Amino acid sequence: MKIAFFTETFLPKVDGIVTRLTKTIESLTDAGDEVIIFCPEGCPEEYMGAKVVGVPAMPLPLYPELKLGLPGASVSDALETFKPDLIHVVNPAVLGLGGIWLAKTNGIPLVASYHTHLPKYLEHYGMGMLEPLLWELLKAAHNQAMLNLCTSTAMVKELSEKGIQNTALWQRGVDTQNFRPELRNNNMRKKLLGKFSDEGALLIYVGRLSAEKQIERIKPVLEALPNARLALVGDGPFRNQLEQIFENTPTTFIGYLAGEELASAYASGDAFLFPSSTETLGLVLLEAMAAGCPVIGANKGGIPDIITDGINGCLYDPDGENNGTESLIKATEKLLGDNKNERQSMREAARLEAERWGWPSATEQLKSFYTQILEKNTTNNIAA
């Protein structure tokens, strides 16, 4: 099978979408499938046997880390040379719209996938009034596809309710070989604690430091639990504001970590706090769980698909009193309770949940979707 991906984000950027794409591409090429990726410039020329085509791009004004690729004749030429069986557009925006147009123009079956809950991001950037318009634009783009994949049951339901057709669930995946509890160690814990003493619980957050992640909601938790410490792993456009917000609190800004260092950071925390209520899935939660770190996340979006409250983590109500502050504090207190046996049980349950979701099985499911689309396209062509 020959698959062309159009994605607005790829290496060297690091986020959940890139992780899913790289793991998917690795599984596809290992199985003998041919892959080409069209993405913003600055990318490597090749990844795991797949050709990568960088497209001229400009930074998104509100989020400079995200670049919008502008497809031109070189993209069309490369696609014509590759002759894909199927095009898969990931979070279609500017470059993705080019992929949609090329699919329609050349009669190539089209699959789209929805990974970032952009309409819900708008309110965090002072543009909530544009949400209805953005949904209309997303509907117009996604309804060109024969299949629209979502990464959680909540997103399948919401997109369907918004008028996006032919939705299906693309199951989650996580690397349980790299993320594992055995990587917990004192040296990493000291790095995460920075200048602060190891007297209480070490809370960690991993991900983009951006407004829509609602990281500032962790500050009242630190105030309510004076012995707690916080490590923020990652970087992003909201870092300067967060440094001001968390000034005079026991918070360490770690920056980006990767590979075994990142896996060790997950494993070395006592609780993983993820306040965001805009997640389509929340891959970092699965990575933390694979590392045996119990998690706290919002009872909203894709997160309830992952967390079973009180069993492998705790859920909080992001729409509760004081923007969910009281609920987040209570969830953290519950997870960090005095019963060590309960905490250990939660760690073990978190790991067991992660072990259910390997990347190879997620890619096999994706390939079965591709096969169904190709068969349907052939049938439609014969009928026409």
What are the start and end residues of each CATH 3.40.50.2000 domain in the chain?
2-173+358-383, 181-355
CATH topology for 2-173+358-383?
Answer: Rossmann fold (3.40.50)
pLDDT at 224: 95
pLDDT at 365: 96
For 342-363, how does the pLDDT look when each residue is reduced to its tens digit (9 = 90+)? 888 999 999 999 999 988 889 9
247 burial type by CB count under 10 A (0-12 exposed, 13-18 middle, 19+ buried): exposed
61 burial type by CB count under 10 A (0-12 exposed, 13-18 middle, 19+ buried): exposed
pLDDT at 255: 96
pLDDT at 13: 87
pLDDT at 131: 77
3-state helix vs strand vs coil in the chain, percent to 5: 45, 20, 35
AA identity, residue 186: N
pLDDT at 311: 93
CATH 3.90.650.10 applies to domain 181-355: no
pLDDT at 116: 77
The residue ranges of the chain whose pLDDT is under 70 are 60-66, 117, 119-128, 381-384
pLDDT at 135: 82
pLDDT at 64: 63
- CA-to-CA distance for 309 and 382, rounded, in angstroms? 50
Among candidate residues 220, 222, 214, the one with its CA nearest the CA of residue 196:
222
Instruction: Return the H-helix or E-strand segment holding 47.
Output: strand 46-47
- CA-to-CA distance for 160 and 282, rounded, in angstroms? 20
